[in-house]
Structure 1
Amino acid sequence: MGGIGIVNYGAGNIFSLCSALDRLSISYKIINTVSDFDTCERYIIPGVGHASPAMKQLNATGLIPLLKQTSKPVLGICLGMQLLSTFSEEGETPLLDIIPIKTLKFTDKSLKIPHMGWNSVNAVNVATLFKDIEQGSYFYFVHSFYLENSSEYSLATSDYGLTFASSIQKNNYFGVQFHPEKSGKAGEQLLLNFAKL
């Protein structure tokens, strides 16, 4: 196992992800520039923040064409997962357009926004990221926007006022809306699973 490249575009939360990978003895490096990209076997796009500045910062790295063309496994976490979609209602922002679904805003006024805390995740497919993770396991979420549920691309779903995609996949691209690095044993298993893809 090894060779995970963590895409650094100034979106934060890299420290807790690195700490989780260290605990699991999964080798990784921080990717800051195009020259770092090809030295890795798989990639994680972390993310906390706002879609529009995140896209500007990611564009400034020059890594977008490489991320869109790679055949190696890619995992987007939280905002990183949303960036894989076509468009976000957050700032009306065009995104990477790798997975053809949209990122939408929670609009139910009875819900506390952001959706923050533990919620159960129901895997539609347990062959890859969710291997050896008990169905309905709880993961830690912090988000105000969500990816629409898709029969074609949802790898797992969760409920918060509505059913949304808590994990997605298209070919070698994966995303999770929750934070596996803050989700205890289930989150650690998911990171281990990704490291073996």
Structure 2
Amino acid sequence: MIGFLVLVLLLAAFYGGARRGTSLQLVSVLGYLFSFLVAVANYQALAKKIELYVPYMSVTADSKLVFYNLDLTLDLDKAYYAAVAFIMILFAGWLVTKLICIFANGLRFKRLRFLKGYDWVVAGILNTLLVYLNIYFFFMILSMIPLATIQNLFDKSSTAHFIVESSPIISDYFYRLWITNVIG
């Protein structure tokens, strides 16, 4: 079921990007990239400030998380707050980017000549990559929550398990960014 839902989201993302066109999609990607860089630079400072406002379930010695051993589990709240802070910054940047895209909507009808008839394919792929990254963020944050029902989801769903643990490049990068750099 989760695999089907992810597939539908990715197909819808491809369609949305293809309709948008590469010119407008590049504005969106550049805004996302800028927001990403701002988030990487500032997420740890924000993580310390949101601990009082964002709830996190306490982890006990009996808690079993699919992707994390007991040593990491007891300090996983720090990584959770770091991930939430990162996504908050990224979301704020996404809102600004969407506002800019509203004003740049005329780019929707500009086709890049060097792409000839493949303009829509490039735009669709770019948007699909952005949506996949957001799906990864969603599952990664869920993987840090010590609730048995959520952890069972990762045990039973090979799609969710693959996205968190085996996504090319991003799995290792965000594990280092949120787990290794924050917990140690």
Name the TM-score class by shorter chain.
under 0.3
The TM-score with structure 2 as length reference comes to: 0.25
Bigger Rg, structure 1 or 2: 2
| Greater RCO structure (CA 8 Å; 6+ sep) | 2
Choose between structure 1 and 2: higher helix proportion: 2
Report the structure, 1 or 2, having the larger strand content.
1
